[in-house]
Amino acid sequence: MRTTIFRVAATLWANRKARAGLSILFVFAAVAVLAPLLAPYSPTATNFARSAPASWSHPLGTTGSGQDALSQLLYGTRISLFVGFGAGLAATIVAMLVGVVAGYARGPIEVILGFATNLFLVIPGLPLMIVLAAYLPTRGVGTILVVVSVTGWAWGARVLRSQTATLAAREFVAAARLAGEGIWRIVWHEIVPNMVSLLAASFFGASTAAVLAEAGLEFLGLGNPSTISWGTMLFWAQNSNALLTGQWALLVAPGLCIALLASAMSLVNFGIDAIGNPRLRER
Partner 1 sequence: MRYVLRRLPVLVITLWAAVTLNFLLPRLMPGTPAGAAVAKLAGQGSVSASQRRAIEVMLGVPHGSLASQYWQYLKAIAGGNFGISYTYFPEPVSKVIGAALPWTLALVGTVTVMAFVIGTLLGVLAAWKRGSIFDTAASVGCTFMAAFPYFWTALVLLYVFGFVAGWFPIRGGYSASVSPGWDWSFFVSALGHSVLPAFTILVSGLGGWVLGMRNNMMGVLGEDYIVFAEANGLSPRTVALRYAARNALLPGVTAFGMALGLVVGGSLLTEVVFGYPGIGYLLYNAVVNEDYPLMQALFLVITVSVLMANFVVDLIYGLLDPRVRR
Rounded to the nearest 5°, which phi and psi values hold at 68? -75, 120
Task: Return the number of the residue (182 or 246) whose C-beta is nearest partner 1.
Answer: 246
The DSSP element (H or E) to which 37 belongs, if any, is helix 16-38
109 binds partner 1 (CB under 8 A): no
| Near partner 1 by CB under 8 A: residue from 54, 220, 240, 276 | 220
272 binds partner 1 (CB under 8 A): no
What track of x and - describes contact with partner 1 for positions 53 through 92 (by CB under 8 A)?
Answer: ----------------------------------------
31 or 242: whose CB is closer to partner 1? 242
Whether residue 163 contacts residue 195, with contact meaning beta carbons closer than 8 Å, is answered with yes
Rounded Cα distance between 7 and 200, Å, is 13
Say how far apart CA 134 and CA 110 lie, in whole Å: 32
Candidates 5-13, 54-62, 68-76, 130-138: pick the segment binding partner 1 (CB under 8 A). 130-138
Q: 126-139: string of b/e by CB count within 10 Å (b at 16+)?
A: eeebbebbeeeeeb
Task: Dihedral sign for Cα 27, 30, 35, 36, please.
Answer: negative
- 123, 127, 129, 133 alpha-carbon torsion, rounded to 10°: -140
Residues in 36-55 that interact with partner 1 by CB under 8 A = none
Binding segment for partner 1 (CB under 8 A), chosen from 35-43, 87-95, 122-130, 166-174, is 122-130
Q: Which residues bind partner 1 (CB under 8 A)?
A: 115, 118-119, 122-124, 126-128, 130-137, 208, 212, 215-216, 219-222, 234, 238, 243-244, 248, 251-252, 255, 258-263, 265-267, 270, 279-280, 283
